[in-house]
A and B are shown apart, each in its own frame.
Chain A
Amino acid sequence: MADLLLVFSIISIWAAVFQSIVIMWGAVRFIFKQSRKDWTVPGPEQMEHFPTITVMVPAHNEELVIAATAENILRLNYPKEKVQLIVIADNCSDDTAGKLKALKSKEAFRDRDFMIFERTGTGGKSGALNDALQYAKHEWICIFDADAAPERNALFFLVEKAMEDPENYGAVFGRNKARNRGQNLLSKCINLELVTAQRIYHTGLWELFKLGTIPGTNFIIKTDLIRDIGGWDTEAITEDTAISFEILTRGQLIALAPQAEAYQQEPEQLGVYLKQRERWAKGNFSVVIGNLHHLFNRSSWRIKLHVLYYTASYFWFLLAIIISDIIIVMNLIYGFIGLFNPEVAMPFQFADDLYVYLMIAWGLMYYLFVLQINLALATDIGQSTTQNFILSCLSYFTYAQLFLLISLRAFYSMVVDKATGRKTKWYKTQRFEG
Protein backbone atom coordinates (compact mmCIF):
# COMPACT_ATOMS: atom_id res chain seq x y z
CA MET A 1 0.00 0.00 0.00
CA ALA A 2 2.81 2.40 0.95
CA ASP A 3 4.57 1.66 -2.33
CA LEU A 4 1.38 2.27 -4.30
CA LEU A 5 0.90 5.65 -2.63
CA LEU A 6 4.52 6.55 -3.31
CA VAL A 7 4.32 5.58 -7.00
CA PHE A 8 1.08 7.58 -7.33
CA SER A 9 2.76 10.59 -5.71
CA ILE A 10 5.85 10.36 -7.92
CA ILE A 11 3.85 10.04 -11.16
CA SER A 12 1.52 12.87 -10.11
CA ILE A 13 4.43 15.18 -9.29
CA TRP A 14 5.97 14.30 -12.67
CA ALA A 15 2.72 15.33 -14.32
CA ALA A 16 2.74 18.62 -12.39
CA VAL A 17 6.42 19.21 -13.28
CA PHE A 18 5.70 18.41 -16.93
CA GLN A 19 2.77 20.84 -16.98
CA SER A 20 4.90 23.55 -15.36
CA ILE A 21 7.77 23.01 -17.83
CA VAL A 22 5.44 23.20 -20.85
CA ILE A 23 3.68 26.34 -19.61
CA MET A 24 6.96 28.01 -18.67
CA TRP A 25 8.36 27.18 -22.10
CA GLY A 26 5.35 28.92 -23.65
CA ALA A 27 5.83 31.88 -21.32
CA VAL A 28 9.52 32.19 -22.26
CA ARG A 29 8.60 32.22 -25.96
CA PHE A 30 5.90 34.83 -25.36
CA ILE A 31 8.16 37.02 -23.22
CA PHE A 32 11.02 37.00 -25.77
CA LYS A 33 8.58 37.85 -28.60
CA GLN A 34 7.06 40.68 -26.55
CA SER A 35 10.43 42.15 -25.68
CA ARG A 36 11.15 42.61 -29.40
CA LYS A 37 7.88 44.44 -30.10
CA ASP A 38 7.68 48.19 -30.43
CA TRP A 39 4.57 49.54 -28.75
CA THR A 40 3.08 52.79 -30.03
CA VAL A 41 -0.14 54.24 -28.71
CA PRO A 42 -2.23 56.59 -30.88
CA GLY A 43 -4.35 59.40 -29.47
CA PRO A 44 -8.20 59.23 -29.50
CA GLU A 45 -8.31 61.22 -32.78
CA GLN A 46 -6.57 58.31 -34.52
CA MET A 47 -9.11 55.73 -33.26
CA GLU A 48 -11.98 56.61 -35.60
CA HIS A 49 -12.24 53.01 -36.80
CA PHE A 50 -12.32 51.58 -33.28
CA PRO A 51 -15.56 49.96 -32.04
CA THR A 52 -17.90 51.47 -29.45
CA ILE A 53 -17.65 50.21 -25.86
CA THR A 54 -20.02 50.01 -22.91
CA VAL A 55 -18.01 49.96 -19.67
CA MET A 56 -19.89 48.39 -16.76
CA VAL A 57 -18.77 48.65 -13.13
CA PRO A 58 -20.72 46.72 -10.49
CA ALA A 59 -20.42 48.40 -7.08
CA HIS A 60 -21.87 47.18 -3.80
CA ASN A 61 -21.15 49.62 -0.94
CA GLU A 62 -18.02 50.99 -2.59
CA GLU A 63 -18.06 54.62 -1.43
CA LEU A 64 -14.36 54.39 -0.52
CA VAL A 65 -13.13 53.68 -4.03
CA ILE A 66 -15.91 54.18 -6.60
CA ALA A 67 -15.37 57.86 -7.49
CA ALA A 68 -11.68 57.31 -8.25
CA THR A 69 -12.49 54.25 -10.38
CA ALA A 70 -15.19 56.01 -12.40
CA GLU A 71 -12.90 59.02 -12.93
CA ASN A 72 -10.09 56.73 -14.11
CA ILE A 73 -12.43 55.16 -16.64
CA LEU A 74 -13.71 58.50 -17.91
CA ARG A 75 -10.13 59.63 -18.48
CA LEU A 76 -9.07 56.54 -20.48
CA ASN A 77 -7.27 57.10 -23.76
CA TYR A 78 -10.26 56.24 -25.98
CA PRO A 79 -12.63 58.45 -28.02
CA LYS A 80 -15.16 59.95 -25.57
CA GLU A 81 -18.10 59.54 -27.95
CA LYS A 82 -17.39 55.80 -28.27
CA VAL A 83 -17.62 55.06 -24.53
CA GLN A 84 -20.78 54.52 -22.49
CA LEU A 85 -20.18 54.13 -18.73
CA ILE A 86 -22.71 52.35 -16.52
CA VAL A 87 -21.89 52.16 -12.82
CA ILE A 88 -24.27 49.87 -10.96
CA ALA A 89 -24.86 50.96 -7.37
CA ASP A 90 -26.04 47.51 -6.32
CA ASN A 91 -28.10 47.34 -3.10
CA CYS A 92 -25.97 50.06 -1.56
CA SER A 93 -26.54 51.20 2.00
CA ASP A 94 -23.66 53.66 1.89
CA ASP A 95 -23.01 56.78 -0.23
CA THR A 96 -21.81 55.00 -3.42
CA ALA A 97 -24.50 56.64 -5.58
CA GLY A 98 -23.91 60.05 -3.94
CA LYS A 99 -20.19 59.93 -4.71
CA LEU A 100 -20.98 59.06 -8.34
CA LYS A 101 -23.54 61.85 -8.70
CA ALA A 102 -20.99 64.35 -7.37
CA LEU A 103 -18.49 63.13 -9.97
CA LYS A 104 -21.02 63.26 -12.79
CA SER A 105 -21.91 66.87 -11.98
CA LYS A 106 -18.29 67.98 -12.49
CA GLU A 107 -17.76 70.25 -15.48
CA ALA A 108 -15.31 67.81 -17.10
CA PHE A 109 -17.81 64.93 -17.22
CA ARG A 110 -21.18 66.64 -17.86
CA ASP A 111 -21.18 65.78 -21.56
CA ARG A 112 -20.23 62.11 -21.02
CA ASP A 113 -22.53 59.12 -21.55
CA PHE A 114 -22.43 58.20 -17.85
CA MET A 115 -25.28 56.29 -16.21
CA ILE A 116 -25.62 55.71 -12.48
CA PHE A 117 -27.87 52.67 -12.15
CA GLU A 118 -29.22 52.31 -8.61
CA ARG A 119 -30.35 48.73 -8.32
CA THR A 120 -32.14 46.64 -5.72
CA GLY A 121 -32.26 42.99 -6.62
CA THR A 122 -30.67 39.61 -6.06
CA GLY A 123 -27.84 37.69 -7.75
CA GLY A 124 -24.80 39.55 -6.45
CA LYS A 125 -22.31 40.76 -9.07
CA SER A 126 -23.81 38.54 -11.80
CA GLY A 127 -27.32 39.82 -11.10
CA ALA A 128 -26.12 43.42 -11.21
CA LEU A 129 -24.32 42.90 -14.53
CA ASN A 130 -27.35 41.13 -16.04
CA ASP A 131 -29.66 43.99 -15.09
CA ALA A 132 -27.25 46.55 -16.53
CA LEU A 133 -26.84 44.54 -19.75
CA GLN A 134 -30.24 45.73 -20.99
CA TYR A 135 -28.92 49.33 -21.02
CA ALA A 136 -25.72 48.45 -22.89
CA LYS A 137 -25.92 49.95 -26.36
CA HIS A 138 -22.44 49.39 -27.79
CA GLU A 139 -20.63 46.60 -29.68
CA TRP A 140 -18.33 45.46 -26.87
CA ILE A 141 -18.78 45.37 -23.11
CA CYS A 142 -15.88 46.13 -20.82
CA ILE A 143 -15.96 45.15 -17.14
CA PHE A 144 -13.97 46.78 -14.38
CA ASP A 145 -14.40 46.00 -10.69
CA ALA A 146 -15.23 48.87 -8.37
CA ASP A 147 -11.66 48.99 -7.00
CA ALA A 148 -9.98 48.91 -10.42
CA ALA A 149 -7.56 51.59 -11.48
CA PRO A 150 -7.03 50.92 -15.19
CA GLU A 151 -3.85 52.26 -16.70
CA ARG A 152 -4.63 55.10 -19.19
CA ASN A 153 -4.21 52.90 -22.28
CA ALA A 154 -5.78 49.73 -20.86
CA LEU A 155 -8.97 49.94 -22.93
CA PHE A 156 -7.02 50.81 -26.07
CA PHE A 157 -4.82 47.70 -25.71
CA LEU A 158 -7.84 45.45 -25.05
CA VAL A 159 -9.64 46.72 -28.16
CA GLU A 160 -6.49 46.70 -30.29
CA LYS A 161 -6.05 42.99 -29.49
CA ALA A 162 -9.73 42.29 -30.29
CA MET A 163 -9.30 43.99 -33.68
CA GLU A 164 -6.47 41.59 -34.63
CA ASP A 165 -9.07 38.85 -35.16
CA PRO A 166 -12.58 40.17 -34.46
CA GLU A 167 -14.21 37.06 -35.93
CA ASN A 168 -12.57 34.63 -33.51
CA TYR A 169 -11.81 36.69 -30.42
CA GLY A 170 -14.98 36.63 -28.33
CA ALA A 171 -13.30 38.26 -25.35
CA VAL A 172 -9.97 39.87 -24.50
CA PHE A 173 -8.46 40.18 -21.04
CA GLY A 174 -5.63 42.22 -19.62
CA ARG A 175 -3.40 42.06 -16.57
CA ASN A 176 -4.29 43.02 -13.04
CA LYS A 177 -1.66 44.30 -10.65
CA ALA A 178 -1.81 44.64 -6.88
CA ARG A 179 -1.83 48.34 -6.05
CA ASN A 180 -1.16 47.60 -2.35
CA ARG A 181 1.57 45.04 -3.00
CA GLY A 182 4.02 46.46 -0.46
CA GLN A 183 1.50 46.87 2.36
CA ASN A 184 2.37 43.79 4.42
CA LEU A 185 3.70 40.24 4.13
CA LEU A 186 0.36 38.88 2.91
CA SER A 187 -0.03 41.44 0.12
CA LYS A 188 3.61 40.84 -0.90
CA CYS A 189 2.90 37.11 -1.24
CA ILE A 190 -0.35 37.75 -3.13
CA ASN A 191 1.64 40.00 -5.46
CA LEU A 192 4.07 37.15 -6.24
CA GLU A 193 1.16 34.82 -6.97
CA LEU A 194 -0.59 37.40 -9.16
CA VAL A 195 2.56 38.25 -11.13
CA THR A 196 3.34 34.56 -11.73
CA ALA A 197 -0.20 33.63 -12.72
CA GLN A 198 -0.42 36.52 -15.18
CA ARG A 199 3.09 36.56 -16.59
CA ILE A 200 3.74 32.80 -16.74
CA TYR A 201 0.49 30.85 -16.73
CA HIS A 202 -1.68 33.23 -18.76
CA THR A 203 1.06 33.94 -21.30
CA GLY A 204 2.17 30.29 -21.57
CA LEU A 205 -1.35 28.98 -22.13
CA TRP A 206 -2.09 31.71 -24.66
CA GLU A 207 1.18 31.32 -26.57
CA LEU A 208 0.99 27.54 -26.90
CA PHE A 209 -2.72 26.74 -27.03
CA LYS A 210 -4.56 30.07 -27.53
CA LEU A 211 -6.27 29.40 -24.21
CA GLY A 212 -7.41 32.09 -21.83
CA THR A 213 -9.72 32.59 -18.88
CA ILE A 214 -11.32 35.94 -18.25
CA PRO A 215 -10.69 37.41 -14.83
CA GLY A 216 -13.50 39.18 -12.97
CA THR A 217 -12.23 42.57 -14.09
CA ASN A 218 -10.28 44.33 -16.88
CA PHE A 219 -11.68 42.48 -19.88
CA ILE A 220 -13.93 43.10 -22.88
CA ILE A 221 -16.51 40.76 -24.38
CA LYS A 222 -18.69 41.05 -27.48
CA THR A 223 -22.14 42.32 -26.47
CA ASP A 224 -23.89 39.86 -28.81
CA LEU A 225 -21.87 36.96 -27.38
CA ILE A 226 -22.72 37.68 -23.75
CA ARG A 227 -26.38 38.11 -24.71
CA ASP A 228 -26.26 34.79 -26.58
CA ILE A 229 -24.77 33.10 -23.51
CA GLY A 230 -27.69 34.44 -21.50
CA GLY A 231 -25.69 36.87 -19.40
CA TRP A 232 -23.78 36.09 -16.24
CA ASP A 233 -24.68 32.94 -14.30
CA THR A 234 -26.19 34.08 -10.99
CA GLU A 235 -25.73 30.58 -9.53
CA ALA A 236 -22.00 30.48 -10.26
CA ILE A 237 -19.77 31.79 -7.47
CA THR A 238 -16.92 32.44 -9.91
CA GLU A 239 -18.94 33.87 -12.77
CA ASP A 240 -15.77 34.66 -14.76
CA THR A 241 -14.62 31.01 -15.00
CA ALA A 242 -18.18 29.94 -15.88
CA ILE A 243 -18.36 32.53 -18.69
CA SER A 244 -14.94 31.45 -19.98
CA PHE A 245 -16.16 27.91 -20.54
CA GLU A 246 -19.29 29.23 -22.25
CA ILE A 247 -17.18 31.34 -24.63
CA LEU A 248 -14.91 28.42 -25.51
CA THR A 249 -17.90 26.13 -26.01
CA ARG A 250 -19.13 28.55 -28.68
CA GLY A 251 -15.85 28.22 -30.57
CA GLN A 252 -14.65 31.71 -29.66
CA LEU A 253 -11.26 32.51 -28.15
CA ILE A 254 -10.35 34.53 -25.09
CA ALA A 255 -7.29 36.53 -26.10
CA LEU A 256 -4.61 38.01 -23.89
CA ALA A 257 -3.67 41.68 -24.20
CA PRO A 258 -0.61 41.84 -21.93
CA GLN A 259 -0.21 45.62 -22.12
CA ALA A 260 -3.74 46.29 -20.83
CA GLU A 261 -3.01 46.79 -17.15
CA ALA A 262 -5.25 47.69 -14.26
CA TYR A 263 -4.45 48.02 -10.59
CA GLN A 264 -6.66 46.43 -7.98
CA GLN A 265 -6.74 46.09 -4.21
CA GLU A 266 -5.73 42.77 -2.72
CA PRO A 267 -6.72 41.57 0.77
CA GLU A 268 -4.48 42.81 3.57
CA GLN A 269 -5.88 40.58 6.30
CA LEU A 270 -5.63 36.80 6.41
CA GLY A 271 -9.33 36.37 7.25
CA VAL A 272 -10.42 38.45 4.24
CA TYR A 273 -7.96 36.58 2.00
CA LEU A 274 -9.13 33.13 3.14
CA LYS A 275 -12.79 34.01 2.58
CA GLN A 276 -12.06 35.36 -0.93
CA ARG A 277 -9.94 32.37 -1.97
CA GLU A 278 -12.33 29.84 -0.49
CA ARG A 279 -15.10 31.39 -2.57
CA TRP A 280 -12.92 31.21 -5.71
CA ALA A 281 -11.85 27.61 -5.05
CA LYS A 282 -15.44 26.54 -4.38
CA GLY A 283 -16.65 28.30 -7.50
CA ASN A 284 -13.93 26.72 -9.62
CA PHE A 285 -14.62 23.25 -8.20
CA SER A 286 -18.28 23.61 -9.21
CA VAL A 287 -17.45 24.94 -12.70
CA VAL A 288 -14.92 22.14 -13.33
CA ILE A 289 -17.37 19.45 -12.22
CA GLY A 290 -20.07 21.06 -14.37
CA ASN A 291 -17.78 20.93 -17.42
CA LEU A 292 -16.27 17.47 -16.97
CA HIS A 293 -18.62 16.13 -19.65
CA HIS A 294 -16.51 17.93 -22.29
CA LEU A 295 -13.80 15.33 -21.76
CA PHE A 296 -16.09 12.59 -23.00
CA ASN A 297 -18.06 14.24 -25.80
CA ARG A 298 -17.21 15.83 -29.15
CA SER A 299 -16.03 19.15 -27.75
CA SER A 300 -12.94 20.74 -29.32
CA TRP A 301 -9.45 19.75 -28.15
CA ARG A 302 -9.02 23.23 -26.73
CA ILE A 303 -11.93 22.96 -24.32
CA LYS A 304 -10.90 19.40 -23.38
CA LEU A 305 -7.43 20.70 -22.55
CA HIS A 306 -8.93 23.55 -20.54
CA VAL A 307 -11.05 21.13 -18.50
CA LEU A 308 -8.07 18.81 -18.05
CA TYR A 309 -5.87 21.67 -16.87
CA TYR A 310 -8.40 22.73 -14.25
CA THR A 311 -9.16 19.15 -13.19
CA ALA A 312 -5.47 18.37 -12.74
CA SER A 313 -4.81 21.58 -10.78
CA TYR A 314 -7.83 21.35 -8.50
CA PHE A 315 -8.18 17.61 -7.97
CA TRP A 316 -5.30 15.41 -9.12
CA PHE A 317 -2.30 17.49 -8.05
CA LEU A 318 -4.04 18.49 -4.87
CA LEU A 319 -4.55 14.86 -3.90
CA ALA A 320 -0.93 14.08 -4.78
CA ILE A 321 0.34 16.97 -2.63
CA ILE A 322 -1.74 15.78 0.32
CA ILE A 323 -0.47 12.20 0.02
CA SER A 324 3.18 13.15 -0.49
CA ASP A 325 3.01 15.67 2.39
CA ILE A 326 1.61 12.97 4.67
CA ILE A 327 4.38 10.54 3.62
CA ILE A 328 7.18 13.08 4.13
CA VAL A 329 5.86 14.64 7.36
CA MET A 330 4.98 11.30 9.01
CA ASN A 331 8.39 9.84 8.16
CA LEU A 332 10.14 12.97 9.43
CA ILE A 333 8.24 12.85 12.73
CA TYR A 334 8.87 9.13 13.23
CA GLY A 335 12.49 9.55 12.13
CA PHE A 336 12.94 12.25 14.77
CA ILE A 337 11.35 10.07 17.47
CA GLY A 338 13.60 7.21 16.27
CA LEU A 339 16.66 9.28 17.20
CA PHE A 340 15.69 8.88 20.87
CA ASN A 341 13.91 5.54 20.69
CA PRO A 342 15.53 3.22 18.09
CA GLU A 343 12.62 0.76 18.31
CA VAL A 344 10.28 3.23 16.55
CA ALA A 345 10.32 2.64 12.79
CA MET A 346 9.16 4.98 10.00
CA PRO A 347 5.54 4.19 9.00
CA PHE A 348 6.28 4.35 5.25
CA GLN A 349 9.03 1.93 4.22
CA PHE A 350 9.88 1.73 0.52
CA ALA A 351 11.62 -0.67 -1.78
CA ASP A 352 15.09 0.25 -3.12
CA ASP A 353 15.70 3.97 -3.82
CA LEU A 354 12.09 4.93 -4.52
CA TYR A 355 11.96 7.49 -1.72
CA VAL A 356 14.95 9.27 -3.29
CA TYR A 357 13.06 9.73 -6.56
CA LEU A 358 10.09 11.24 -4.73
CA MET A 359 12.49 13.77 -3.20
CA ILE A 360 14.07 14.46 -6.63
CA ALA A 361 10.63 15.03 -8.21
CA TRP A 362 9.64 17.26 -5.31
CA GLY A 363 12.95 19.16 -5.56
CA LEU A 364 12.36 19.82 -9.28
CA MET A 365 8.85 21.04 -8.53
CA TYR A 366 10.19 23.43 -5.89
CA TYR A 367 12.96 24.68 -8.19
CA LEU A 368 10.44 25.34 -10.97
CA PHE A 369 8.13 27.13 -8.54
CA VAL A 370 10.92 29.56 -7.58
CA LEU A 371 12.12 29.88 -11.19
CA GLN A 372 8.66 30.75 -12.51
CA ILE A 373 8.17 33.47 -9.92
CA ASN A 374 11.58 34.97 -10.68
CA LEU A 375 11.07 34.94 -14.45
CA ALA A 376 7.72 36.65 -13.90
CA LEU A 377 9.32 39.23 -11.60
CA ALA A 378 12.03 39.94 -14.19
CA THR A 379 9.35 40.90 -16.73
CA ASP A 380 7.78 43.45 -14.40
CA ILE A 381 10.13 46.40 -14.03
CA GLY A 382 11.09 47.10 -10.44
CA GLN A 383 9.89 43.80 -9.03
CA SER A 384 13.03 41.70 -9.42
CA THR A 385 14.44 42.53 -5.99
CA THR A 386 16.43 40.55 -3.40
CA GLN A 387 13.48 40.76 -1.01
CA ASN A 388 11.12 39.25 -3.58
CA PHE A 389 13.66 36.52 -4.38
CA ILE A 390 13.89 35.50 -0.70
CA LEU A 391 10.10 35.66 -0.42
CA SER A 392 9.71 33.45 -3.51
CA CYS A 393 11.98 30.81 -1.89
CA LEU A 394 10.07 30.91 1.40
CA SER A 395 6.54 31.22 0.03
CA TYR A 396 6.44 27.60 -1.13
CA PHE A 397 6.58 26.43 2.49
CA THR A 398 4.27 29.07 3.86
CA TYR A 399 1.91 31.02 1.57
CA ALA A 400 1.56 28.30 -1.10
CA GLN A 401 0.59 25.73 1.53
CA LEU A 402 -2.48 27.85 2.33
CA PHE A 403 -3.81 26.59 -1.02
CA LEU A 404 -4.17 23.15 0.58
CA LEU A 405 -6.15 24.47 3.51
CA ILE A 406 -8.32 26.66 1.28
CA SER A 407 -9.02 23.86 -1.20
CA LEU A 408 -9.94 21.36 1.50
CA ARG A 409 -12.28 23.84 3.20
CA ALA A 410 -13.84 24.81 -0.14
CA PHE A 411 -14.31 21.16 -1.13
CA TYR A 412 -15.94 20.35 2.20
CA SER A 413 -18.21 23.39 1.91
CA MET A 414 -19.20 22.40 -1.63
CA VAL A 415 -20.04 18.84 -0.55
CA VAL A 416 -22.17 20.18 2.34
CA ASP A 417 -23.94 22.56 -0.09
CA LYS A 418 -24.75 19.69 -2.45
CA ALA A 419 -25.85 17.34 0.34
CA THR A 420 -28.07 19.82 2.17
CA GLY A 421 -29.20 21.96 -0.76
CA ARG A 422 -27.70 25.01 0.94
CA LYS A 423 -27.39 28.08 -1.30
CA THR A 424 -23.96 29.67 -1.49
CA LYS A 425 -23.88 33.20 -0.16
CA TRP A 426 -22.08 35.65 -2.40
CA TYR A 427 -19.29 37.35 -0.46
CA LYS A 428 -17.79 40.67 -1.45
CA THR A 429 -14.11 41.22 -0.73
CA GLN A 430 -13.60 43.91 1.88
CA ARG A 431 -11.94 47.13 0.63
CA PHE A 432 -9.45 49.41 2.33
CA GLU A 433 -9.11 53.15 2.06
CA GLY A 434 -6.14 54.55 0.13
Chain B
Amino acid sequence: MAYTAWFIPLCRIVSLIFAAAVLVLFIATLVFRRRVNRKYDRRKVRG
Protein backbone atom coordinates (compact mmCIF):
# COMPACT_ATOMS: atom_id res chain seq x y z
CA MET B 1 0.00 0.00 0.00
CA ALA B 2 1.39 3.44 -0.93
CA TYR B 3 2.20 5.69 2.01
CA THR B 4 -0.18 8.30 0.56
CA ALA B 5 -3.11 6.06 1.52
CA TRP B 6 -2.62 7.04 5.16
CA PHE B 7 -0.59 10.21 4.85
CA ILE B 8 -3.16 12.19 2.85
CA PRO B 9 -6.02 11.55 5.35
CA LEU B 10 -3.56 12.55 8.08
CA CYS B 11 -2.79 15.75 6.15
CA ARG B 12 -6.52 16.53 5.98
CA ILE B 13 -7.09 15.99 9.72
CA VAL B 14 -4.01 17.96 10.80
CA SER B 15 -4.79 20.83 8.41
CA LEU B 16 -8.37 21.03 9.72
CA ILE B 17 -7.31 21.04 13.38
CA PHE B 18 -4.67 23.70 12.75
CA ALA B 19 -7.09 25.82 10.71
CA ALA B 20 -9.62 25.69 13.58
CA ALA B 21 -6.94 26.65 16.14
CA VAL B 22 -5.75 29.54 13.97
CA LEU B 23 -9.36 30.73 13.61
CA VAL B 24 -9.77 30.79 17.41
CA LEU B 25 -6.53 32.77 17.76
CA PHE B 26 -7.68 35.15 15.02
CA ILE B 27 -10.94 35.82 16.88
CA ALA B 28 -9.05 36.30 20.17
CA THR B 29 -6.78 38.84 18.44
CA LEU B 30 -9.77 40.76 17.06
CA VAL B 31 -11.51 40.77 20.47
CA PHE B 32 -8.38 42.07 22.18
CA ARG B 33 -7.77 44.70 19.50
CA ARG B 34 -11.37 45.93 19.82
CA ARG B 35 -11.01 46.13 23.60
CA VAL B 36 -7.80 48.16 23.33
CA ASN B 37 -9.27 50.49 20.71
CA ARG B 38 -12.34 51.10 22.87
CA LYS B 39 -10.18 51.86 25.92
CA TYR B 40 -7.60 54.10 24.30
CA ASP B 41 -9.37 55.72 21.35
CA ARG B 42 -8.93 59.41 22.25
CA ARG B 43 -11.59 60.52 19.76
CA LYS B 44 -14.20 59.09 22.11
CA VAL B 45 -12.97 61.08 25.12
CA ARG B 46 -14.99 64.24 25.61
CA GLY B 47 -14.40 67.34 27.67
Query: Do these two chains interact?
Result: yes
A381 & B29 in contact (Cβ 8 Å cutoff): no
How many Å lie between the Cα of A368 and that of B19 in the bound state?
Answer: 10
A21 & B32 in contact (Cβ 8 Å cutoff): no
B8 & A354 in contact (Cβ 8 Å cutoff): yes
A374 touches B (CB below 8 Å): yes
A375 & B29 in contact (Cβ 8 Å cutoff): yes
Q: B14 — which chain A residues lie within 8 A by C-beta?
A: 14
Q: B12 — which chain A residues lie within 8 A by C-beta?
A: 357
B32 & A351 in contact (Cβ 8 Å cutoff): no
Q: A360 — which chain B residues lie within 8 A by C-beta?
A: 11, 15
The residue of chain A having its C-beta at the shortest distance from the C-beta of B24 within the complex is A25
A364 & B8 in contact (Cβ 8 Å cutoff): no
B8 & A378 in contact (Cβ 8 Å cutoff): no
Whole-angstrom distance between the Cβ of A165 and the nearest chain B Cβ: 27
A346 touches B (CB below 8 Å): no
- Stretch in A28-36, A47-55, A315-323 touching the partner: A28-36
A371 & B2 in contact (Cβ 8 Å cutoff): no
Name the residue in A35, A353, A357, A374 with the highest tally of chain B Cβ atoms < 10 Å from its Cβ: A357
Q: Majority SS of interface residues in chain B?
A: helix
A368 & B8 in contact (Cβ 8 Å cutoff): no
How many Å lie between the Cα of A292 and that of B36 in the bound state?
Answer: 42
**Proximity string of chain B (1-44) to chain A, C-beta cutoff 8 Å, 1 when within and 0 when not:** 01110011001101100110110011011001101100010000
Q: B26 — which chain A residues lie within 8 A by C-beta?
A: 371
Q: A21 — which chain B residues lie within 8 A by C-beta?
A: 18, 21-22, 25
Whole-angstrom distance between the Cβ of B21 and the nearest chain A Cβ: 5
How many Å lie between the Cα of A365 and that of B15 in the bound state?
Answer: 11
A371 & B22 in contact (Cβ 8 Å cutoff): yes
How many Å lie between the Cα of A364 and that of B15 in the bound state?
Answer: 8
Whole-angstrom distance between the Cβ of A280 and the nearest chain B Cβ: 28
B32 & A375 in contact (Cβ 8 Å cutoff): yes
A35 & B32 in contact (Cβ 8 Å cutoff): yes
Return the contact of B25 from the options A28, A35, A361, A381 (Cβ within 8 A): A28
Whole-angstrom distance between the Cβ of B42 and the nearest chain A Cβ: 11
How many Å lie between the Cα of A353 and that of B14 in the bound state?
Answer: 15
The residue of chain A having its C-beta at the shortest distance from the C-beta of B7 within the complex is A7
A32 & B15 in contact (Cβ 8 Å cutoff): no
Q: B4 — which chain A residues lie within 8 A by C-beta?
A: 351-352, 354
Whole-angstrom distance between the Cβ of A419 and the nearest chain B Cβ: 39
The residue of chain A having its C-beta at the shortest distance from the C-beta of B12 within the complex is A357
Whole-angstrom distance between the Cβ of B34 and the nearest chain A Cβ: 9
A24 touches B (CB below 8 Å): yes
Given contacts A21-B18, A364-B22, contact A379 B36 (CB under 8 A): yes
How many Å lie between the Cα of A213 and that of B26 in the bound state?
Answer: 27
Q: B7 — which chain A residues lie within 8 A by C-beta?
A: 7, 354
What are 27 residue pairs bridging A and B, where the CB atoms are less than 8 Å apart in the complex? A3-B3, A7-B3, A7-B7, A10-B11, A17-B18, A21-B25, A28-B25, A31-B32, A32-B32, A35-B32, A352-B4, A352-B8, A357-B12, A361-B15, A361-B18, A364-B18, A364-B22, A368-B25, A371-B25, A371-B26, A371-B29, A374-B29, A375-B25, A375-B28, A375-B29, A378-B29, A381-B40
Seen from chain A, the residues whose Cβ lies within 8 Å of a Cβ on chain B are 3, 7, 10, 14, 17-18, 21, 24-25, 28, 31-32, 35, 351-354, 357, 360-361, 364, 367-368, 371, 374-375, 378-379, 381, 384
